[in-house]
């Protein structure tokens, strides 16, 4: 009788150990991302709602000549944009995401206004702003070159979101000839559009 009780207790202990081991295995897989991957911001296979890949676009001037590139990478806080361009005039330049994915020379008006899905006012210094597409001014060096990295906190590369840069109408990245004063409507009094690039997965 005693031996039977010992075997029963041992059997129950063995079952408990097996259950614990199984649970730890599941948790381990979840932690390392093999079974339950979460959005890391830059390790995905496509621009679905929860999967995002980096994008790279070409920037052209008013004559249709390539003057640089812009790389887009999803982060937890927004979209990191890295701009590398040349043949620009030295100084501050307004820099925005526009609402249409079209860059028709020479004036780039085909890109429409600033990307503004929330119907806000323009400018980071405006009490009802900014537009989702408002970005910090670019500071072009004396040699006409610029290489800067900015974070667009109000947009995403995830398709299907209201603030996604990847949509049916498309979006564009535009550099202006002058400085954005961050308050004037509708575009910061930044002057003519001197460079444009279509933001698209097809680049």
For every one of its 203 residues, what pLDDT tens digit does the chain have, with 9 covering 90 and above?
A: 455 565 565 556 555 555 545 444 444 444 444 443 333 344 344 555 456 778 999 999 999 999 999 999 999 889 999 999 999 999 999 999 999 999 999 999 999 998 988 888 786 755 665 778 889 999 999 999 999 999 999 999 988 888 999 888 889 999 999 998 887 888 768 889 999 999 987 65
Same domain, yes or no: 185 and 110 = yes
DSSP code, position 48? B
Report if residue 50 sits inside a domain: no
Distance CA 113, CA 190 (A): 13
Same domain, yes or no: 131 and 171 = yes
Q: Which of 40-65 are b and which e, b meaning 16 or more Cβ less than 10 Å from the residue's Cβ?
A: ebeebeebeeebbbbbebebbbeeee
Q: Please name the residue that has the structure tokens 């005693």.
A: 2
Distance CA 3, CA 150 (A): 73
Distance CA 3, CA 202 (A): 73
Q: Please name the residue that has the structure tokens 């460079």.
A: 195
Q: 69 lies in which domain range? A: 55-199
Tokens matching residue 4 = 């039977």
Same domain, yes or no: 79 and 133 = yes
Tokens matching residue 9 = 């207790």
Same domain, yes or no: 29 and 98 = no
Per the DSSP assignment, residues forming a β-bridge with 150 are 81
How many domains, the chain? 2
**Longest Cα–Cα distance in the chain:** 96
Instruction: Please check whether residue 56 is in contact with residue 81, taking contact to mean a CB–CB distance below 8 angstroms.
Output: no
Same domain, yes or no: 62 and 19 = no
């Amino acid at each position: 009788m005693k031996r039977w009780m010992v075997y029963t207790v041992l059997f129950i202990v063995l079952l408990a150990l097996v259950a614990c081991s199984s649970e730890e295995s599941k948790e381990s897989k979840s932690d390392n991302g093999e079974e339950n991957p979460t959005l890391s911001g830059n390790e995905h296979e496509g621009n679905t709602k929860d999967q995002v890949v980096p994008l790279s676009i070409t920037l052209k001037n008013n004559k249709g000549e390539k003057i640089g590139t812009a790389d887009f990478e999803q982060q937890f806080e927004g979209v990191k944009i890295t701009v590398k361009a040349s043949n620009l005039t030295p100084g501050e330049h307004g820099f925005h995401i526009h609402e249409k994915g079209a860059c028709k020379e020479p004036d780039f008006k085909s890109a429409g206004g600033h990307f503004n899905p929330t119907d806000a006012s323009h400018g980071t210094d405006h009490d009802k702003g900014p537009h989702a597409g408002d970005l910090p001014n670019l500071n072009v060096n004396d040699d006409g070159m610029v290489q800067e990295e900015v974070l667009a906190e109000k947009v995403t590369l995830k398709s299907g979101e209201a603030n996604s840069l990847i949509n049916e109408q498309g979006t564009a990245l535009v550099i202006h000839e002058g400085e954005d004063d961050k308050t004037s409507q509708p575009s910061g009094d930044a002057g003519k559009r001197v460079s444009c690039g279509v933001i698209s997965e097809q680049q």
